[in-house]
């Protein structure tokens, strides 16, 4: 069961990462009026300032999601271990 909780935590982390990426991209597009700088669009030049700002925001959101997912997984493992001790 412990392995199941870890796999569930990984799946939740991946899902939250996907949602977080979409959220950051949408907010960026709404606030700047341009697509997020991904490096794949060679037609649209991106300033260094814009690319660094997007990278900083994206990395911050990603780190927050990772920390929250890890804490949630650890809480679930602890709660599961306590419930097994009681039974």
Give the chain's domain count.
Answer: 1
Compute the distance between CA of residue 87 and CA of residue 84 in angstroms, rounded to an integer. Answer: 5
Compute the distance between CA of residue 26 and CA of residue 68 in angstroms, rounded to an integer. Answer: 22
Question: Is 51 among the domain residues?
Answer: yes
Question: pTM to 2 decimals?
Answer: 0.74
Compute the distance between CA of residue 2 and CA of residue 8 in angstroms, rounded to an integer. Answer: 10
Question: Is 28 among the domain residues?
Answer: yes
Q: List, for residues 35-62, the tens digit of each pLDDT value.
A: 888 777 666 678 889 889 999 999 999 8
Question: Is 40 among the domain residues?
Answer: no
How distant is the alpha carbon of residue 23 from its chain centre? 10
Question: Is 41 among the domain residues?
Answer: no
- Residue 12's domain comprises 2-35+46-86
Quick one: tokens of 60?
């911050």
Most confident of the ranges 5-14, 34-43, 52-61, 62-71 = 52-61
């Amino acid at each position: 069961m412990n392995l199941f909780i870890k796999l569930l935590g990984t799946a939740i982390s991946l899902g939250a990462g996907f949602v977080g990426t979409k959220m950051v991209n949408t907010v960026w597009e709404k606030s700047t009026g341009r697509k997020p700088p991904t490096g794949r669009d060679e037609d649209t030049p991106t300033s260094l300032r814009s690319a660094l700002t997007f990278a900083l925001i994206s990395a911050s959101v990603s780190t927050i999601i990772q920390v929250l997912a890890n804490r949630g997984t650890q809480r679930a493992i602890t709660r599961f271990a306590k419930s097994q001790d009681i039974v």
